[in-house]
Amino acid sequence: MAWDYGRTPKESIEFCNCCGRFKKLLDQPQDVQYDRYGHPVTVWTCPSCGLIYLSPRMTAAASTEFYATGAYRDLILAHTGETSAMRQAAQWAYAESLFERLAPHLAERVRVLDVGGSNGLVLKRFRDDRVDRGIGQWFYGELLDPAVDEILSEGGTGHANTTTAGTIEEARLDLRPNDFDLVLCCQTVDHFTDIAEAIRLMAVTLRPSGHLWIDWVDCTGFYEVKIDHPFYLTSATMHRYVDAEFTTVVEGHWDGYHGGLLLERKADL
Ligand SMILES: [Zn+2]
């Protein structure tokens, strides 16, 4: 379906989501006028912490609808020319690579929440490993993603023990504290409308010493403005978001433009 960005409900951002600084009258927007799809946007940089963000941007409710209706996927595929099969192959390669990276840090018996987990291929990779070794019952995977059709049509429900259609900001009442051993946030954080709140919720639902994997498009390596990315992150701003609740286990850059952190939840939040 076509997405009418002009008529989409939007909101202005008055406080920096990363450091909390109030946007002042003297602040100047960057000179970016259209995103990669041709939508008019205004981009700001926080003078205190360096966070880059859109303002105005879609409201949280509009953003959820954007993903839930499939408009996001249609926009991406129309822009990149990628077929569904190509995307599937790329996601499987990603899942394979991430599994290799995280496996040494995880116990055999593991409860995993994949936030923005799309069609569940990352969960499938972890599950397959344990099923192949006869310990499939030691794996529990939960999938949270707003794109209902994507989850249903590509087998996501089959890869997860529990599937919830929604965003982490909306699902907060269903999250249990100290529950998961691993939370995955795979190339999803740039899409959140409130990163600070999402990080807090992911920390709360992890058990002490549980792990969070989070990766993002690092805008020092690749910078392309688009309406579905309210925020543009660097290693510095990402650390500022997570350092109060997590310690860093692994810091990595995979492919020239994604930054990634494997983090361990501090015992006392
Ligand atoms: Zn800031």
- The domain spans of the chain are 8-265
Distance 19 CA to ligand 1 centre (A): 4
DSSP 22: B
pTM of the predicted model over 0.75: yes
What lies within 8 Å, CB to CB, of 81 at 6+ separation is none
> Cα torsion for 113, 117, 120, 122, to the nearest 10°?
-70
Neighbours of ion ligand 1 (CB under 5 A): 16, 18-19, 21, 46, 48-49, 51
How many angstroms separate the CA atoms of 34 and 41, rounded?
5
Roughly what angle, to the nearest 10 degrees, separates helices 84-102 and 121-132? 50
Strand order in the sheet with 231-232: 43-45, 52-54, 231-232
User: How does DSSP assign 231-268, residue by residue?
Assistant: EEB-HHHHHHHHTTTEEEEEEEE-SSSEEEEEEEE-S-
Tally of CA atoms within 13 A in the half-sphere of 88 that contains its CB: 10
C-alpha separations of 110 from 56, 100, 115, 180, 203 in Å = 40, 16, 16, 8, 16
Distance 165 CA to ligand 1 centre (A): 31
What lies within 8 Å, CB to CB, of 84 at 6+ separation is 77
Per-residue pLDDT, 1: 56
Distance 3 CA to ligand 1 centre (A): 30
Distance 74 CA to ligand 1 centre (A): 32
Which residue positions in the chain have pLDDT lower than 50?
none
Distance 251 CA to ligand 1 centre (A): 22
Per-residue pLDDT, 2: 72
How many angstroms separate the CA atoms of 60 and 193, rounded?
6
CATH class for the domain made up of 8-265? alpha beta
Per-residue pLDDT, 154: 62
**What are φ and ψ of residue 202, in 5° steps?**
-65, -35
Distance 15 CA to ligand 1 centre (A): 8
Distance 233 CA to ligand 1 centre (A): 11
What lies within 8 Å, CB to CB, of 119 at 6+ separation is 88, 91, 150, 151, 153, 154, 155, 156, 159
